[in-house]
Structure 1
Amino acid sequence: MSETATRVLARMFERMSEVIETEKDHLSELDGAIGDGDHGITMSIGFKAVNAALSTLDLDTASPSDVLSTAASGFLNAVGASTGPLYATGFRRAAQALADRDQLDLAACRDMLGAISEGIRDRGKAQRGDKTMLDVWLPAAEAATAGVASNLSKPDFWKAVENAAENGAAATATMIATKGRAARLRERSLGHADPGAVSAAALIKAIAGASCTQAE
């Protein structure tokens, strides 16, 4: 019997927290070069709070939308910095996108990734090329849309999404920051990958490995 969509999403957030713990020190080192040096710590706090909040849900009765809404509240309550509202808005948009849906087929995964990226974009008023996490989330969402349109298999779909995310994170090293604290450095931000983009790529890899594994 296949795992329910609700449990898949709960497991997805567990994996996201695990990957952030693994990358926490690296993310803070990256942030130390162009920011406050606390990005890894901030993300760790946020996703630990998400999983603490999700632990109070009855996964046998909760909906996929409930999981994403709870994650949004948990992250926002724990992280007051700019990252908190950005991810909270993304997760809330994803909750809306999955309202009344109980299957995590690739179309639902496409809609979830698209909603997260759009929520982050709308809340942060940023765009691709600003050297932010959007340089990862937007290409990943576009790859998901193209993957569904091309009728890719599940492995090929997620490979395309992960590749788009990884390439987007790497590309930020060639960009001049125009948003956030790194924007104060202008040209001096060149040569440094954006820590928010690097953490976003790690999160998307965790999503690919943990979510949307429900039988279609």
Structure 2
Amino acid sequence: MSSINKLDKQFFVDSLKGMAKLSEEQRDHWTKLDSDIGDGDHGINLSIGFRGIMDKIDQLAEENPDINSLLKKSGMILLSKVGGAAGPLYGSFFMKMGGNYPDRTEVTFSEFLDMIRTGIEAVQFRGKAELGDKTMIDAFLPGLKLINDYQESEDPLSFFDSFVRAMRAGSDATIPLVAKKGRAMRLGERAIGHRDPGSDSSWMLMNVFDQELKKRS
């Protein structure tokens, strides 16, 4: 079994499977959040996208020996199957995530954090959102700040717990906001009191990575 400081391709395969399971469990919850302020399809779309990955996960794992190729192909599936804003955003996250580490079959924990940083930066570049716009960026950026300040002397598990908690707090912070992006922007102050669905799905998906890290501790 891999250690936290040597995360192999199986870690990412297991994480994608966990994310697919999560998307089924949270489909109705995320859809309800989106129904309150958006198109009402966030959970449905994510479940469709991750089902697409699950349909091909064994083939993807076999045909893509390196981590970057596995994640890139998975991101392409999300991009092609997920409607609304979530498809391009999450698709970009996974497609770009491993770009700094081509042809690698394992990465260190620090490199894994750098991969998440690259994914977050891809999401922000694609969506052009900023902190306070009531989007998934409100969850991702607090987590990114922690990653940017990470010291290798820190305990990896404790750090990643803090990363997920920061993202969850960022999602909580979307509740009192007026939306400045997407369909929710049309509602003006009526969006106040509602959580952004993308911020909720993003911290939960990153929490799957946390769960897989703990299995390897």
TM-score when normalising by structure 1: 0.91
Please give the residue correspondences for 1:1-216 in structure 2 after superposition, counting only pairs within 5 Å: 1-2=1-2, 5-59=8-62, 62-147=65-150, 149=151, 151-211=153-213
Give how far 1:157 is off. 1.2
Give how far 1:49 is off. 1.1
Aligned residue type for 2:56:
A
Aligned residue type for 1:153:
D
**Change in CA separation of 1:212 and 1:103 when aligned onto 2, cut-off 3 Å:** farther
Give the conservation status (yes or no) of the 8 Å contact 1:8–1:213.
no
Partners of 2:25 and 2:89 in 1: how far apart? Answer: 22
Give how far 1:212 is off. 8.5
Count, aligned residues: 214
Give how far 1:26 is off. 0.8
Partners of 1:60 and 1:146 in 2: how far apart? Answer: 36
Give how far 1:123 is off. 0.7
TM-score when normalising by structure 2: 0.91
Give how far 1:213 is off. 6.4
Partners of 1:152 and 1:60 in 2: how far apart? Answer: 35
Give the conservation status (yes or no) of the 8 Å contact 2:110–2:152.
no
Partners of 2:144 and 2:58 in 1: how far apart? Answer: 28
Which blocks of at least 5 consecutive residues in structure 1 are unaligned?
Answer: none
**Change in CA separation of 1:103 and 1:213 when aligned onto 2, cut-off 3 Å:** farther
Which blocks of at least 5 consecutive residues in structure 2 are unaligned?
Answer: none
**Could you list the per-position Cα deviations for residues 118-176 of structure 1 after superposition, in whole angstroms to 9, with x for gaps in the alignment?**
111101111111100111122222222323x2621122111111111110110000211
Partners of 2:174 and 2:116 in 1: how far apart? Answer: 20
Partner SS, residue 26 of structure 2: helix
Give the conservation status (yes or no) of the 8 Å contact 2:13–2:61.
no
State the Cα RMSD in Å.
2.0
Indicate the percent of aligned positions where both proteins have the same amino acid: 32
Partners of 2:40 and 2:2 in 1: how far apart? Answer: 42
Give the conservation status (yes or no) of the 8 Å contact 1:75–1:87.
yes
